Amino acid sequence: MSHSITKICTDFIPELNNAIAEQTAETIFVLTDENTRKLCLPALMQSEKLQGCHVISIPSGDENKNVESAVEIWKYLSENGATRKSLIINVGGGMVTDIGGFTASTFKRGLRYINVSTTLLGAVDAATGGKTGINFLGLKNEIGVFAPAETVLIHVDFFKTLNDENLRSGYAEMVKHALIDTRDEWESVLKFDLENIEFDKLKILLARSIRIKERIVEEDPFEANIRKALNLGHTFGHAFESYSYKTEKPALHGYAVMWGLLCELYLSHIKLNFPKEDLLRLKYLIKEYYGSFVFHCQQYETLFELMTHDKKNDSKEINFTLLADVGDIRINQTATKEEIFECFDFFREG
């Protein structure tokens, strides 16, 4: 599998023009959601390469990353003469780059696409690594393919349109990358001031965070081995996220991952002796900035059931990535139902 070229832009429009020029496309389609159409598309439209392009817009929100939206995109491509020489530019957060990559890579057996990441979460998580997908039957990213973008462009100025919650959602994936990397990285990510975001500092941390992910993806593009490290926090996290869709207030992906990290570091502590001090530092950070996900003992079975559907499971067992220490990754770990319920108890103790 080829790899995307990821660029954190210093001069956005010329870099966008270069990325488009490299693809020599017959026609260009730009995919946005309602938010990015309003907040970010005008900046892109300063490019002479996009004059006369087709703009496809879908409703925003992860609940719209579904088959119906995919069908609408395919239909638009079909009715507007997309060929295998067309190019799709996905402009948005993880939701847009996930569904955009999926529809591009399946239409006519695959169109080339570029991701322009407009959220911190999208930049650090969904835009790089070649995973694409849509949600199905209430399960996260249940349908999808590995198909990397030609180029991923990250323009940090777009992050200034985000509220605190969305910035914190992206920061959660940076915390995860630090935990699977080194203690130095873990310390520097924890030092970042979430109260007063300094975008220049964020840019430096983001570049390092993306390199951690890229290094792992390069080593294991199809998630046979070490790439499973990137799933830290996601087995519990996806269950929380999927469950939250059934409630009035769907959780942001990064918040669900942060809560999932806490459960999986607790599991790491009881099974592999992960340092309690680091577990408590994460717990404090979550209490300070992420609040809690409210559920009761009666919901344990439902959450457990959601975890059994996780794509990472190889057999009937629920598969976890755990840590014996910061940077000491143990993939393909399992846990009993009792241990999983103990993690729920620990999480709810607050």
Cα atoms in the 13 Å half-sphere on the side-chain side of 300: 15
Do 140 and 226 fall within a single domain?
Answer: no
Do 146 and 218 fall within a single domain?
Answer: no
What is the spatial distance between Cα 32 and Cα 93, in angstroms, rounded to a whole number? 9
Report the Cα–Cα distance between both ends of the chain, in Å, rounded. Answer: 43
pLDDT in tens, 206-263: 999 999 999 999 999 888 899 999 999 999 999 999 999 888 788 999 999 999 999 9
pLDDT in tens, 131-168: 999 999 988 889 999 999 999 999 999 999 999 999 99
Answer with the one of 161, 176, 192 that is the final residue of a domain: 161
Do 180 and 320 fall within a single domain?
Answer: yes
Do 184 and 319 fall within a single domain?
Answer: yes
The share of the chain scoring above pLDDT 70, in percent, equals: 98
Do 186 and 110 fall within a single domain?
Answer: no
pLDDT given at position 2: 62
Do 126 and 20 fall within a single domain?
Answer: yes
Q: What strands lie across the sheet with 112-117, from one edge to the other? A: 5-8, 151-154, 112-117, 87-92, 28-33, 54-58
pLDDT in tens, 262-297: 999 999 999 999 999 999 999 999 999 999 999 999
Q: Give me the CATH number covering residue 174.
A: 1.20.1090.10
Do 171 and 310 fall within a single domain?
Answer: yes
pLDDT given at position 274: 98
Do 147 and 202 fall within a single domain?
Answer: no
201's tokens = 């500092």
Q: Give me the CATH number covering residue 134.
A: 3.40.50.1970
Q: Where residue 30 falls among pLDDT bands split at 50, 70, 90? A: very high
All residues at 6 or more sequence positions from 166 whose CB lies less than 8 Å from its CB, including other chains: 93, 119, 120, 121, 252
Do 154 and 198 fall within a single domain?
Answer: no
Do 139 and 281 fall within a single domain?
Answer: no
Determine the structural domain holding residue 136 and report its residue range. Answer: 5-161
- Residue 3 predicted with pLDDT over 80: no
* Overall number of domains in the chain: 2
Do 155 and 33 fall within a single domain?
Answer: yes
CA gyration radius for the chain?
A: 20
